[in-house]
Amino acid sequence: MNGAVAKRYARALIAAAGEGGKVDEVADELRRTAAWLADPELAHALGSPMLGAKARGDLLGQVVSSLSLSGLVRDFLAVLGEKGRMGEFAGIQRAYEAMADEAAGRVRATVRSAQPIADAGLAELAGVLEKIAGRKVVPTVEIDPALIGGLTVEMQGTVYDGSVRTQLERLARTMAKDTAG
C-alpha cells in the first residue's frame, strides 16, 4: 500500500467534502464502506486485475447501492474502481479520518479495558484525556480480558498503561531482582 497515494486521494476527497460542509458525514460513509470492504473475498474481487472493468464497476455499484452513500462518495469510489485503486481504500480511509480529525481539532484514543466501561466512566475518562491532549478526544473502547483489570489508552502515539496485568508484571520483576540480589 502506497501511503503517498492514499494521502493524495484523501486530500482530494476532503477538499470536495469541505466545500459542501460534509467532512464528518463523508468520514462516516467511508467507515461504513470500509467495514463492508473488510470482507476478504470482496476486497480480492475488487482488486483483481482478472475482473474486467465493467464487472468491477457492477460489483462496486452493488456495494454503493446497499450502503446508501452520497453522490460524492459514490463518485469517489467509482474513480478508485476505474483507476484500479480499490486496494488503497483502507489507507485512504485512515488518511481521510486523520485529516478530518486534524481539521476539527480532535484526536482519537483507543481504550482497552478488561471489562465494558459505563458511559459515565467513558465520559469522565474522555474529559481527563482532553486535558492531556489539549483538544477533543474521541475514544474507541476495545475489550481485552488479558488485562485482568484497569485499562490502557493509546493516544497520539503514547500508551498510558494502568492495567493490572502490567502492575503484576512490574511486581514480579521487582521481586525477582530482590531475590537475585
Q: Is the domain of 88 the same as that of 114?
A: no
- Where residue 30 sits, what CATH number does that domain have? 1.10.520.20
Q: Is the domain of 141 the same as that of 66?
A: no
Q: Is the domain of 120 the same as that of 172?
A: yes
Q: Domain range for residue 166?
A: 106-180
Task: Collapse the DSSP code of 61 into the 3-class scheme (helix H, G, I; strand E, B; otherwise coil) and give the result.
Answer: helix
Residue 28: band (very low, low, confident or very high) from pLDDT cuts 50, 70, 90: very high
Can you tell me the mean pLDDT for 110-116? 94
Where are the extended beta strands (E) located within the chain?
A: 106-113, 136-143, 151-155, 158-161
Express as a percent the part of the chain with pLDDT over 90.
Answer: 59
pLDDT of amino acid 82: 82
Element of type H or E holding 99: helix 89-104
Q: Is the domain of 74 the same as that of 155?
A: no
**Nearest residue to 13 via CA among 87, 68, 94:** 94
Q: Is the domain of 82 the same as that of 22?
A: yes
39/108 Cα distance (integer angstroms)? 25
Domain termination residue (choose one: 102, 135, 162) = 102
Q: Across the chain, what does the average pLDDT equal?
A: 89
pLDDT tens digits, one per residue of 145-163: 988 888 999 998 999 998 8
Q: Is the domain of 120 the same as that of 80?
A: no
Can you tell me the mean pLDDT for 5-22? 95
Domain termination residue (choose one: 78, 102, 126) = 102
pLDDT tens digits, one per residue of 40-81: 888 777 777 787 778 877 888 887 888 889 999 999 998 988
Phi/psi class of residue 150: alpha, beta or left (left: φ > 0; alpha: ψ in -120 to 50)?
left
Cβ 137 vs Cβ 106: under 8 Å: yes
Domain termination residue (choose one: 63, 82, 102) = 102
pLDDT of amino acid 1: 53
Q: Is the domain of 131 the same as that of 174?
A: yes
Whole-model pTM: value is 0.74
